[in-house]
Amino acid sequence: MISEVPTLAIDLVTVFENTSVLHDEYIVHRLGLLPIDSSNVGNFVARDFNLEATAADVDSLTVTHFDLVPERILGGPLGGPLGGPLGAPGSQQGPPLPVPSPSDLQAEGFTSGIPIVKLRRNQTISMSCLATKGIGKLHAKWSPVAAATYKLRPQIKLDAGLLETAAADAKRQM
């Protein structure tokens, strides 16, 4: 069943400082729903991230999933140490990171990541996040599927010939 597939999701967040206009709970909820690469989830129990951003020199700063900085891996490879720094010996794949990666987005023509919060001048956020392994039966954040939708904006072109023949009331409404 798809609800029993283990994945990584941000589960615990410690907020050190938040001077943005969004409450801590909203930002933490957004962090919990960020997709994290779970292709190598069997080798990890948990993953630490830090999120620190300050809009000191700019009027507006958008904090995205690219700003999550990996700190360490807890649980390491099976039979390995309980915790270790990034790039622990014996690991063939890199550590799990939020997806999509910057290189994947640039290949598809996107330049920004998944927005978490916008900061204005002199606003700061500082958080420590723990991504843990779980299954979709426990919470939707561990569900390995997502529903992403979009709606194209219609392009409306008025026919000048028909517009001239329209009644005066119809012209005023347009």
CA dihedral 95, 40, 47, 32 (to 10 degrees): 120
Contact criterion met (CB below 8 Å) for 98 and 68 = yes
pLDDT of residue 3: 81
pLDDT digits (tens, 9 = 90+) for 115-142: 899 999 999 999 999 988 888 888 888 8
Name the most confidently modeled range: 3-7, 27-31, 42-46, 84-88.
27-31
Q: Is residue 71 situated within a structural domain?
A: yes
Q: Is residue 61 part of a domain?
A: yes
pLDDT at 13 over 90: yes
Q: Taking the mean position of all CA atoms in its chain, how far away is CA 141?
A: 12
- Count of structural domains within the chain: 1
Assign residue 126 the CATH number of its domain: 2.170.120.12
Place of tokens 């798809």: 2
Please state, in angstroms and rounded to a whole number, the distance separating the CA atoms of residues 135 and 8.
9
Reported as a single tens digit per residue, the pLDDT across 56-88 is 888 899 998 888 888 766 554 433 444 444 443
Phi/psi for 90 (5° steps) reads 95, -5
Q: Is 158 among the domain residues? A: no
Residue 168 lies in a domain: no
- Are 8 and 47 in contact by the 8 Å Cβ rule? The answer is yes
Residue 68 domain-assigned (yes or no)? yes
- Is the pTM value of this prediction over 0.75? no
Give the range among 9-23, 67-81, 157-171 with minimum mean pLDDT.
67-81
- Asked if pLDDT for residue 90 goes beyond 60, the answer is no
What span, in angstroms and rounded, lies between the C-alpha atoms of 88 and 72?
Answer: 9
Q: Domain span at residue 124?
A: 2-149
Q: Please name the residue that has the structure tokens 């999509």.
A: 100
In a domain, 172, yes or no: no
